[in-house]
């Protein structure tokens, strides 16, 4: 039988951490190096809420990894400090994005389509988004449409839409596949993700790849990618008036929409999925080289 050279382990909060710790201990028992890959937008909340003894065990086990891959500098700072890892042990590798070869013309739009893609619920700021849309002027509501794609607390969100009498302006699309997502982003004018917690969300990267101006929040790795007024607009989580104002600004200003969208696409060009594999292979190669030269 062939010997396993390396194991790449993805982990996030709660039960995932426990399961991956067991897997990692098994790998170490057989002297197989492990590359950990951190996910979980709420990992900080999970980890900081643990008793000290549990934090100690997790950090002790995860310190045995060859590398820990994170999505952004802020996550590197968190894991390096929390798990007491060496700086060179933590590698930043943002999520990759598949860039469409061509993006649509978005000039002279009669109706502005605002799009959200993700889990319908509080963490992603969907209820805030609906209330922010409700604050738009009647004229702005008439010339725009909010499309919400995703599963989750759809019934509660529908009830909120009905209570605000926005049924004519807000549509729920349910869960969508990658083809439907691309079709949605192609016809969109603005992408909105007002989350309370994030890692580096794929939906945001994909929207930027489609040349869309984004309205989002400075949480997780987002503020390292989205610069306010340059390639998107940032509002603090839960600030409904500010979110509504950002929506109004982009609905009213086609020139700003187009310039932010163009900058957004340029900002994610380096995250092209074609470059991702070579970055990952470099990490693997470094691990295997260390193993080969180890005494």
Q: How far apart are CA 250 and CA 260, in angstroms?
A: 10
pTM of the predicted structure, to 2 decimals: 0.89
- Whether the CB-CB separation of 101 and 183 falls below 8 Å is answered with no
pLDDT at position 290 is 87
Q: pLDDT tens for residues 50-88? A: 999 999 999 999 999 999 999 999 999 999 999 999 999
Distance separating alpha carbons of residues 137 and 251, to the nearest angstrom: 11
CA separation for the pair 245, 133 (Å, rounded): 10
Domains and CATH numbers, the chain: 7-95+272-293 (3.40.50.2000), 112-271 (3.40.50.2000)
Question: In the structure encoding, which two tokens stand for residue 6, read together?
Answer: 């390396």
86-128 tens-digit pLDDT? 999 999 999 999 899 999 999 888 899 999 999 999 999 999 9
| Beta strands per DSSP E along 177-281 | 190-193, 214-216, 233-234
172 phi, psi to nearest 5 deg? -100, 125
CB 246 within 8 A of CB 233: yes
Give phi and psi for 113, each to the nearest 5: -100, 115
């Amino acid at each position: 039988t062939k010997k396993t050279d390396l194991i790449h382990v993805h982990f996030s909060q709660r039960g995932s951490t426990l399961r991956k710790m067991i897997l990692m201990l098994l790998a170490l028992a057989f002297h197989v190096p492990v590359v950990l890959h951190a996910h979980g937008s709420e990992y900080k909340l999970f980890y900081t809420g643990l008793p000290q003894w549990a934090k100690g065990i997790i950090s002790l086990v995860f310190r045995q990894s060859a590398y820990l891959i994170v999505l952004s500098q802020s996550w590197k700072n968190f894991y390096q400090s929390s798990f007491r890892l060496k700086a060179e042990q933590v590698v930043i590798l943002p999520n990759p994005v598949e860039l469409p070869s061509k993006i649509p013309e978005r000039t002279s739009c009669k109706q502005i389509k605002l799009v959200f893609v993700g889990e319908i619920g509080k963490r992603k700021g969907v209820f805030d988004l609906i209330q922010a849309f409700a604050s738009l002027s009647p004229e702005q509501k008439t010339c725009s449409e909010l499309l919400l794609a995703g599963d989750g607390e759809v019934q509660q969100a529908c009830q909120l839409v009905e209570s605000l009498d926005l049924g004519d302006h807000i549509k729920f699309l349910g869960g969508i596949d990658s083809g439907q997502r691309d079709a949605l982003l192609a016809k969109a004018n603005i992408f909105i993700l007002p989350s309370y917690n994030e890692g580096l969300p794929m939906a945001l990267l994909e929207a930027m790849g489609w040349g869309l101006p984004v309205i989002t929040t400075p949480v997780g790795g987002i503020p390292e990618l989205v610069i306010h007024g340059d390639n998107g607009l940032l509002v603090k989580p839960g600030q409904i008036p500010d979110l509504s104002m950002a929506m109004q600004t982009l609905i009213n200003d086609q020139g700003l929409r187009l310039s932010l969208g163009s900058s957004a696409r340029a900002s994610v060009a380096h995250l092209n999925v074609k470059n991702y594999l070579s970055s990952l292979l470099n990490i693997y190669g470094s691990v295997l080289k260390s193993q080969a030269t180890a005494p």
